[in-house]
Amino acid sequence: MNFKLISLALIGVTLFFLVLLPFFGSPYSLVLLSNIFMYVVLTVTWVMFCGPTGYISLATSAFFGAGIYTAAVISFKVPLLLTVLVGALISFFLALIIGIVSLRLKGIYFAMFTFGFVELLLHFLLWYETNITGTTGRVVLTLSNQTVYYMMLALAFVTIVFTQYLNNSRYGMALKSIGENEMASEHIGIDTAKLKILTYCVSSSFVGACGVVMATRWTYVDPKIAFNPLYSFIPIFMAILGGARKLYGPILGAIVFTYLQEILTTRIPYYYMLFFGLLMVFVITFLPEGIVGIIDRRLKTKIN
C-alpha cells in the first residue's frame, strides 16, 4: 500500500513536470523527449501483445508507416486529431488482416510473415506511387515542437495506462496463458483467436497514431522512409534491454536506448551502430531479463 502510494506520487510529479516542461525547457529537450515518447509507445505496444503471448511480430514498421503515410496523404485536408484517428484505424485494420491470415502461424513463421508483410506494403506503395499517381514522395504538414511534444506525451500516457489496465484485467492473464500453453487456454473457455487478434489490432492502432504525429517531423516522406524495417527491430531491442516482464521494463528500455542513441550519433556517428550491436550481445548473454532483472534482484536481496 505504501509502495503503491509512493509510486503513484512519483508518477504524478513526473507527469506534472513533463506537462510544464515546454514553458521552461529548451527546444532540444522537447525534441528529445518527443523521440523518447515515440519509442515508449512503439516498445510498450510491442510488449503488450508479444510479451505475454510469445508471438514475435516484426510488423511494427507497417503500422508506423501506415500512420506516416496517412499523415502524408490527408494531413493538409483534415484536422490533426482526425488524421491521428484515421491513422490509428488504418493500422487497426492492417493488424486485423495480418491477424486473420496468420492465425495458425506460430513461432518463426509468424515472425517471418509479419516481416514479409512490411516489405509487401512498402513495395505495393512504391509500385502504386510510380505507376498510378506518378509521384515519388509526399510533403507532410509541419507542426511546432510543442504540439508534437504534447501529442506524444498524451499518446505515451494513454498507451501506458491502457497496457497497465489490460495487464491487470482477466484478459492480461488470458494472454499470458496463451504464451504458456495455447491449447490449454483454448480448452478452459478462452477464445484465443479473438483475444490475440483484438489485442494485436488495438496495440497496432497506438503505433499508427504515433506514426501520424511523428510524420510531421519529417516534412517529406516516401515509402522507403515510412516503412523503414528498423522501426520493427528497435522496439524489440528496447524491450530486451529493459526487460519485458514488467511494464516499466520497456519504458526504461526505450528511455535509455533513445538517450544513448542521441549521445552516440553525435559523438561517434560512424560507429554507433557497432556499439548497439555489442550492447545487444552483452544484454542477451548476461542480462536475459534486462534492466528489470537487475532491479528485481536488487529488491529481492534487500528484502531478504
Partner 1 sequence: MELLKVENLTKSFGGLLAIHKLSFIVKEGEILGLIGPNGAGKTTLFNLISGALKPDKGRIFFGDAKISGLRPHKICKMGISRTFQDVKVFPNMTVVENIALAATFARERIPTNEAQRLATDLLRFCGLIEVKNMLARDLSLVNQKRLEVARALATQPKLILLDEMMAGLNPTETLDAMRLVKAIRDRGCTVFIVEHVLRAIMNLCDRVMVLHYGEKIAEGTPEEVCSNPKVIEVYLGEKYAQN
- Residue 174 found at the interface with partner 1 (CB under 8 A): yes
- Residue 176 found at the interface with partner 1 (CB under 8 A): yes
- Residue 262 found at the interface with partner 1 (CB under 8 A): no
Smallest separation (angstroms) from partner 1 to the CB of 178: 10
Q: CB within 8 A of 67, min separation 6: which ones?
A: 87, 88, 90, 91, 207, 208, 209, 210, 211, 212, 213, 214, 215
- Residue 184 found at the interface with partner 1 (CB under 8 A): yes
DSSP element (H, E) containing 183: helix 182-186
Smallest separation (angstroms) from partner 1 to the CB of 100: 15
CB-nearer residue toward partner 1: 75 or 192:
192
- Residue 104 found at the interface with partner 1 (CB under 8 A): no
**Of 56, 52, 65, residue with least CA distance to 124:** 65
CA pair distance 175, 252, nearest whole angstrom:
23
- Residue 187 found at the interface with partner 1 (CB under 8 A): yes
Smallest separation (angstroms) from partner 1 to the CB of 301: 20
- Binders in 188-217 for partner 1, by CB under 8 A: 188-193
Query: Using CB under 8 A, which of the segments 27-35, 85-93, 177-185, 236-244 binds partner 1?
Result: 177-185
The neighbouring-strand residues paired with 198 are none
Instruction: Judge contact between 122 and 227, C-beta under 8 A.
Output: yes
Please state the length of the chain.
304
Provide the CB-side half-sphere exposure for 231 (13 A, CA).
Answer: 30
Instruction: Judge contact between 37 and 156, C-beta under 8 A.
Output: yes
CB-nearer residue toward partner 1: 38 or 239:
239
Query: Using CB under 8 A, which of the segments 11-19, 115-123, 175-183, 218-226 binds partner 1?
Result: 175-183
Which residues bind to partner 1, rule: CB under 8 A? 170, 173-174, 176-177, 180-181, 183-193
